[in-house]
Amino acid sequence: PAAARAAPFTPTDPTVAVLWLRADLRLADNALLRAGADASALLPVYVFDPAAWGAPSAAHTLYGTVKGGAHRAAFVTAAVAEVRAGLAAVGSGLAVRVGDPAAVLADVVARLLAAGTPVRVVASKEFCAEEVAAERSVAAALAGLTTPDGVPPVALQFVWEGTLTHLDDLGFNPLTDTPPVFTQYRKRMEGGPGGRDGLAVRPPAPAPTRLPPLPGCVDATLLGAVPSLGDLGLDAAAAAVDGRAALDVRGGEAAASARLQTWMVDGDHLRHYKETRNDSGTDAGSSKLAAWLATGCVSPRTVYAAIRRYEAATGVRDDNTYWLVFELLTRDFFRWTAAAVGPTLFAWRGHGSDRSRGDFAARRFAPTDTARFDAWAAGATGVPFVDAGMRELAATGYLSNRLRQNVASFLINELGCPDWRAGAAHFEATLVDYEPAANWGNWAYIAGVGADPRGGRAFNTVKQGGVYDPAGAYTKLWVPELAALPPAQLWEVGKVDPATLAGYGVTLG
């Protein structure tokens, strides 16, 4: 607000605070902003690393998929533009640069040090391999900077963000004591006298009304511009909203708040959440908050507080409202697991209790034979429920949790893909709500090399289609060439004789 911007600012810390934003794209309940709120000047920085977007990566995939695709890039660029405007409105701003984070942050800090001002750099701690590698590179680059006489060396400092339960309230060391199975983790977190209602969740902090100003040496060149998708090596046309999408998901804190209001309060959809959460192709069935959570447009604590407000206002406090809390706990579990297992989260043999499992190597899908993988990715396997899901994913960047499990199981168990990581990398490239811990943890779970004592999950995709899309409406929306088939023929279309199919205008290729 204008009044807040005009009010005098009295710092208590003489340093310039440089805040490295990553999955922190909001003002409300943001520990990173609070970490710089007492500085003499504040410079938040967001860096688009080209290696994380349009360039194919050899690190995690056999098949040359890009790291981040157009749908997620459109979401993130919108969120960055919004948070930049929000920071400006409370007296600060946001530098937006494209490049290697270590080089960019070292350049920014060097400019500030040239003015003779002490600088501290703060980020939210991450635990997945590429994020940790980036932190190490940034720390090394900062340590190599020459500081003026009397100015201490610049170190990368961390705050904790991104989980429902704060690290300090966890009650155990996640690096050494994270339970290996989610059920054990959930029971531990709910093990206090309050049970489900006794979770250690801090109340969300409000958005700041005033922040320290930008350093005086900051100019338009240093602030930069939010890149276009073309700048990131991506085709903007590929991010166009498909009219069949269940929800037009837009990046930013305002859109996250609007989704909470319209879905949970106005639509009253939390009331039936446990029953509807596996629905496909519907706006109301699931919360669809994952993209905003993954990018930090909303905090888990804010979602949790909204659930509690809903319960208080409606008197509904049952398995339906709990299930959204359950999903927030699941999200936390994957993050703590990533901290505990380190790079083995991305290993072929995984990180679970059955890491010796080597039967992938005996499967019939050669690493150089991409035909079946390509058919899976394109939604052209001939299995209607799977194809519908993969086409929705390609067109929108979204897929329901139930369908994610089905298409992953199909790739691993039915197509015999020898390296589950190829599927995980495809999801990384296509999902709007991609989050490394959850994505790779879930794929390892389906492959039987993650946090699951049962040694893998195999889904009967024919049966699942009949259960979760009984009338075939979702499947026919995305596989319109089968629109005339009745459900009895739809789910096992490969077994229907050609004459019957021809009567419905269907010819199998």
Q: For position 356, what pLDDT does the model report?
A: 45
Region for 378 from its dihedrals, namely left if φ exceeds 0, alpha if ψ lies in -120 to 50, beta otherwise: alpha
Q: Which of 402, 506, 499 is nearest to 490 (CA)?
A: 506
- Is 273 part of any known ligand binding site? yes
Distance CA 278, CA 219 (A): 49
Residue 63: its pLDDT value, please? 55
61 pLDDT exceeds 60? no
pLDDT in tens, 386-411: 999 999 999 999 999 999 999 999 99
User: pLDDT exceeding 90 applies to what percent of the chain?
Assistant: 72
Q: What is the mean pLDDT of the chain?
A: 89
Pair 109, 117: CB distance under 8 Å: no
Amino acid present at 306: A
Check residues 439 and 451 and name the one with the higher pLDDT: 439
pLDDT for 56 equals: 57
Given this model, what pLDDT does residue 122 score? Answer: 98
In which band, very low, low, confident or very high, does the pLDDT at 264 lie, cut at 50, 70 and 90? very high
Query: Predicted confidence band at 16 (pLDDT cuts at 50, 70, 90)?
Result: very high
Two domains, one topology: 2-161 and 359-502: no
Give the confidence band of 240 by pLDDT, cuts at 50, 70, 90.
very high
CATH of domain 359-502: 1.10.579.10
pLDDT at residue 366, as a whole number: 55
So what's the pLDDT on residue 193? 57
Residue 194 has pLDDT above 70, yes or no: no
Residue 84 is predicted with a pLDDT of 98
> Would you say 127 and 160 are in contact if contact means Cβ atoms under 8 Å apart?
no
Percent of the chain with pLDDT over 70: 90
Residue 254 is predicted with a pLDDT of 98
Q: Which of 369, 463, 379, 349 is closest to 416 using CA atoms?
A: 369
pLDDT tens per residue across span 349-400: 887 655 444 444 444 455 556 788 889 999 999 999 999 999 999 999 999 9
| Among the ranges given (151-155, 194-198, 394-398), the one the predictor scored with the smallest mean pLDDT | 194-198
CA–CA dist 424, 434 (Å, integer): 10
Q: What number does CATH give the domain 164-205+251-341?
A: 1.25.40.80
For 99, phi then psi, to 5°, come to 155, -175
The partner residues of 394 in beta bridges, in order of sequence, read none
How many Å apart are CA 449 and CA 351, to the nearest integer? 6
pLDDT band at 65 (very low <50, low <70, confident <90, very high): confident
Strands laid side by side in the 95-98 sheet: 95-98, 39-48, 13-21, 119-124, 156-159
The whole-angstrom separation of Cα 449 and Cα 442 is 10
**Dihedral of the CA atoms 58, 62, 66, 68 (nearest 10)?**
-90
Q: Are 240 and 282 in contact (CB under 8 A)?
A: no
* Distance (Å, whole) CA 400 – CA 393: 9
Q: What is the mean pLDDT of residues 112-139?
A: 94
Residue (of 159, 161, 20) closest to 97 by Cα position:
20
Residues in a beta bridge with 20: 45, 123
pLDDT of residue 10: 56
Q: Per-domain residue ranges for the chain?
A: 2-161, 164-205+251-341, 359-502
The C-alpha atoms of residue 331 and residue 186 are separated, in whole angstroms, by 11
What is the DSSP secondary structure assignment for residue 54, as one 8-state letter? T
Which 3 state secondary structure label does DSSP give 293?
helix
Amino acid at 28: A
> Tens digit of pLDDT for each residue in 72-104?
999 999 999 999 999 999 999 999 999 999 999
C-alpha to C-alpha distance for 311 and 318, rounded to whole angstroms: 9
Most confident region among 115-119, 256-260, 341-345 by mean pLDDT: 256-260
CA 232 to chain centre: 19
> 311 vs 29, 315, 418, 455, CA distance in Å?
21, 5, 46, 37
Q: How much is the pLDDT for 397?
A: 96
Asked whether the predicted pLDDT for residue 114 surpasses 50, the reply is yes
**pLDDT tens per residue across span 20-55:** 999 999 999 999 999 999 999 999 999 999 888 876
- Report the alpha-carbon distance of residue 53 to residue 429 in Å, rounded: 8
Looking up tokens 């003015």 gives 115
- At the top level of CATH, which class does the domain 2-161 belong to? alpha beta
Cα–Cα dist 387/409, whole Å: 13
